[in-house]
Amino acid sequence: MAEHYHSPEDLKRLAEYKELAGPEFQAFVTFDGTVGRDGGAIDRLNRELIAVGVAISSQCPYCVQVHVTNAKKAGATKAQIAEASMVAAALGAGAAVTHGTMAFKIFDDV
């Protein structure tokens, strides 16, 4: 695995969550587990491609690692990962532009 600014060793600290916020952590684990489930209206590959886009948008290096790996295992191609990344980037840019209109409103009110 390539060198990253985060360490997989960091994930060992998740046990602290289980200890300190057990019910909430368990609820998160259960909910998070639905990403890779089979069945439903969205198949596993597309669930993982969505997760890749969200992970990239939220800039979670652990999530990127997990969901790119899972997407590849589900049959994703590198081109699909690239497109999911670009869709995420486009939506992020769109959000920045529309929030820019809020900046205009604030500017006009000052």
Can you tell me the distance from the alpha carbon of 54 to that of 46, in angstroms, rounded to the nearest whole number? 12
How far is Cα 52 from Cα 82, in angstroms, rounded to an integer?
Answer: 10
- Grouping H, G, I as helix, E, B as strand and the rest as coil, residue 23 is helix
- What is the average pLDDT across 84-94? 94
Q: For the segment 54-85, what is each residue's pLDDT rounded down to a tens digit?
A: 999 999 888 999 999 999 999 999 999 999 99
CA distance 105 to 110: 9
Question: What domains are there in the chain, each with its CATH number?
Answer: 40-109 (1.20.1290.10)
Please give the pLDDT value at position 4: 62
pLDDT for 39: 83
87, 53 contact by CB (below 8 A): yes
The pLDDT value given to residue 102? 92
Residue-wise pLDDT tens digits, 3-44: 666 777 888 888 998 999 999 999 999 998 888 888 889 999
